[in-house]
Amino acid sequence: MLTKKDFDGTERPTWCSGCGNFGILNGIKMALAEQNIAPHELIIFTGIGCGSKLPHYMKVNGFHTIHGRSLAVATGARLANHGLKVLTVHGDGDGYGMGMGHWMHTVRRNIDLVDIVQDNRVYGLTKGQYSPTSDPGMRTPTSPEGAIDRPVQPLSMAIAAGATFVARGYAGELRHLVWLIGEALQHKGYALVDVLQPCVSFNRASAYDFYKPRVYKLEDDDGYDPQDRTAAWNKAQEWGERIPIGIVYRGEPIPTYEEQVPALEAGPLVQQPLGKLRVEQVEALRIELI
Amino acid sequence: MVVNGTQAFSLGALAGGCRFVSAYPMTPGSPVLHWMAAHASQYGVAIKHTEDEIAAINMAIGAAHTGARSLVPTSGGGFALMVEALGLAGMTETPLVIYNAQRPGPSTGLPTRQEQGDLLFTLYASQGEFPRFILTPGSHEECFTAGWRAFNLAEKYQTPAIVLSDHYLVTSVRTLELDSANNNRSFDFEAVEIDRGALLSEVELDTLEEEYLRYRITDSGISPRAVPGHNKAVYVAAGNEHDESGAITEEPEMRTAQVEKRQRKIAGMTEEMSGPIRYGPENAEITFVSWGSTYGPLREAVDALNAQQANQANLLHFVNLWPFPTEAATSALKSAQRLIGVEGNATAQLATLIRSQTGLAMDDIILKYDGRAFTPEYVLCWEL
């Protein structure tokens, strides 16, 4: 049986004290232990941002890639070795800004991975510029008179693109987050876990004091059915005095992309033998050219 | 058999164990994706038509990191989009093959025409410094060989290998002998080798006694490579500078050591690069210097000149352009009486490279940048 300690790394995080990333790091470690997925059985792809250093602070396979591209790198890894469990972990600027194109395409392809977004609604690593999920009017070094952009709505966009698992967690509700990540790991196909992540240094207006009185758990609402896509669409828009966390949408699993690639039917690509072409294969290729 | 440059390269790549191809359509690079797609199921290749070229190279990096021989076919505009990720492959020492079928630029340029304008761009693409291979096949046979050889080079030295083709070579159709015994005039499948370099096997990992260090400092610069999935080799790769284990570092000593480790690979890489191929008599009044697809038209020009008068011309043709085979190139170029560079671009990029690496200058330059391929007549009309 695995425990959280099996995922402990030796590096000390560079995150500010009070950063929501500590909750997310713990949540991932605990969920992996609970799901009995060992450090070598998975790989975590991250982009660029404070939170993307996460795999360095664990014992796990990781690939700390470039800004906005973790989903593309992860897709290649899934196609080459669908025997590996894959997580992507990145921020809102990374995934909903630079990487929005890759995100939408990954969702519609239904690549079998868990996409954890550290959504602090600000750029932390580059010191406080407004992000795709920032509130309009937010004053930052790049929006001194207030941001004009309307925010990205990650949950509704994921539902629109065809995701069959769409969840929102909160870094301040660890047990709940562990449960959500566990459910996402069990889900077949693309699973989004957008995590509200307080940034105590650069987005104090949206830190613990903001979220604590507002977040409520969807599973406490008896009337809410996460399998109802229309209800999920409406719930995904709810933001303000009350902010829902939990599984917003869970549809019937649909075939993953990997399941439908003919070359992968014989097993993970990297486990198939790599050798010279056989004589009859060479002949067949030559005959094509005659 | 009847074959074009796309088929020649694709056959070589497949024979070399290419197992993953990701690309975004762009003329004249996409025919390689088409060819691979048509053969994917039968030969066990996963192919992905992506949302853009940035996704294409990043997917290939993910697939290569995980252990699949991965290819990204594109053209210059697509390669431009890939540049940041090229650096990621360099920094994380991920073996990757990029095939750039050049067309005239900049920007959209002449989308269905010919140019050799990307040599120096390909050589210097990315911020920062890391070793890379550049192969510039000029014939169908050389395309075939480059197809499999690029994978071995990339994997042996754990760094990107770039094959530069161009519109003319991609679309040129030739009739080749079927018999491989016939002076290797057709594609020699027998000669294909698959060399995965310092890739650790399952058994080697099982018996590993010391802590696995993905970026171990070695004399050759090559660190034993494990793909993710084994419990004795759990590590994090990063585009950030890292220590031997892969952990991020900003320490000046480790930064220096890792830069030097990557750069040390160049010595071994250079040994893989033979000098220019000579066509024509050993001694000639004129020596043409070429790379890539100008090879064919220049061979014909050399033959025509020598038919007029013996020993009038020969040709030095470069297939191995980076790391530059300085020693062999210097000796070949020095023995020439009069050097004439022939290139399909406006700035004589190979001549620039040769001068920077050998100190030797061309005596004359024939350039062409009208979007059309070289012909023997174009060269022969020049006042030589």
Give chain B's mean pLDDT.
Answer: 96
Q: What is the distance in angstroms between the Cα of A235 and the nearest Cα belonging to chain B?
A: 30
Mean pLDDT of A8-24: 97
- CB-CB under 8 Å, B239 with A76: no
Does residue B184 carry a pLDDT above 70? no
Which helix (H) or strand (E) segment holds residue A108: the answer is helix A100-109
Does residue B180 carry a pLDDT above 70? no
| Identity of the residue in A64, A101, A270 whose CB atom sits nearest the CB atom of B239 | A64
pTM over cut 0.95: yes
What pLDDT digit, counting tens, does each position of A69-91 carry? 999 999 999 999 999 999 999 99
Predicted local confidence at residue B186, as pLDDT: 75
> What is each CA distance from B346 to A4, A162, B129, in whole angstroms?
61, 49, 26
Give chain A's mean pLDDT.
Answer: 97
Predicted local confidence at residue B178, as pLDDT: 65
Q: Judge whether B166 and B115 are in contact, CB under 8 Å.
A: yes
Asked whether the bond before B106 is cis by omega within 30 degrees of 0, the reply is yes
Residue A193's Cβ-side half-sphere holds a number of Cα atoms within 13 Å equal to 29
Exposure b/e, A241-271, CB count within 10 A at least 16 = b: eebbbbbbbbbeeeebbbeebebbeeebbbe
Which helix (H) or strand (E) segment holds residue B48: the answer is strand B46-49
A38 neighbourhood in chain B, CB within 8 Å: 231
Give the rounded percent of residues in chain B with a pLDDT score beyond 70. 98
| Identity of the residue in B1, B40, B230 whose CB atom sits nearest the CB atom of A263 | B40
- CB-CB under 8 Å, B92 with A84: no
Chain A residue with minimum CA distance to B195? A275
- CB-CB under 8 Å, B1 with A11: no
Q: What is the distance in angstroms between the Cα of B26 and the nearest Cα belonging to chain A?
A: 19
| Identity of the residue in B17, B66, B234 whose CB atom sits nearest the CB atom of A80 | B66
- CB-CB under 8 Å, B15 with A277: yes
Give Cα B94 distance to the centre of its chain: 15
Query: What is the SS3 assignment for B238?
Result: strand
Sign, CA torsion B112/B117/B118/B119: positive
Predicted local confidence at residue A121, as pLDDT: 98
Predicted local confidence at residue B302, as pLDDT: 98
Which helix (H) or strand (E) segment holds residue B297: the answer is helix B295-308
| Identity of the residue in B1, B92, B247 whose CB atom sits nearest the CB atom of A290 | B1
- CB-CB under 8 Å, B227 with A263: no
Predicted local confidence at residue B384, as pLDDT: 75
A102 neighbourhood in chain B, CB within 8 Å: 51, 54-55, 58
What pLDDT digit, counting tens, does each position of A151-192 carry? 999 999 999 999 999 999 999 999 999 999 999 999 999 999
What confidence tier does B359 reach under pLDDT thresholds 50, 70, 90?
Answer: very high
- The string of DSSP letters for A112-168 reads S-EEEEEE-SSBTTTTSB--TTSPTT--BTTBTT---SPPP-HHHHHHHTT-SEEEE
Does residue B181 carry a pLDDT above 80? no
Predicted local confidence at residue B383, as pLDDT: 78
- CB-CB under 8 Å, A263 with B58: no
What pLDDT digit, counting tens, does each position of A102-118 carry? 999 999 999 999 999 99
Predicted local confidence at residue B55, as pLDDT: 98
Best interface-test mutation with B: which of A11, A41, A270 has the largest number of B CBs within 10 A?
Answer: A270
Q: What is the ipTM for the molecules in this complex?
A: 0.98
Cβ atoms within 10 A of the Cβ of A127, count?
A: 11
- CB-CB under 8 Å, A105 with B229: no
What pLDDT digit, counting tens, does each position of B229-275 carry? 999 999 999 999 999 999 999 999 999 999 999 999 999 999 999 99
Predicted local confidence at residue B179, as pLDDT: 61
- CB-CB under 8 Å, A43 with B44: no
Is A172 in CB contact (< 8 Å) with chain B? no
What pLDDT digit, counting tens, does each position of B99-140 carry? 999 999 999 999 999 999 999 999 999 999 999 999 999 999
By the 10 Å C-beta count (0-12 exposed, 13-18 middle, 19+ buried), A122 is classed as buried
Q: Which two tokens stand for residue A7?
A: 């995922």
Does residue B185 carry a pLDDT above 60? no
Long-range contact list for A240-243, CB < 8 A, 24+ apart? Answer: A240/A214, A241/A214, A242/A214, A242/A216, A243/A196, A243/A211, A243/A214, A243/A215, A243/A216
Give the rounded percent of residues in chain B with a pLDDT score beyond 90. 95
What lies within 8 Å, CB to CB, of A55 at 6+ separation is A44, A46, A61, A62, A63, A64, A89, B236
A2 neighbourhood in chain B, CB within 8 Å: none
- CB-CB under 8 Å, B48 with A59: no
| Identity of the residue in A64, A105, A262 whose CB atom sits nearest the CB atom of B237 | A64
Q: Judge whether B29 and B99 are in contact, CB under 8 Å.
A: yes
Best interface-test mutation with A: which of B66, B126, B186 has the largest number of A CBs within 10 A?
Answer: B66
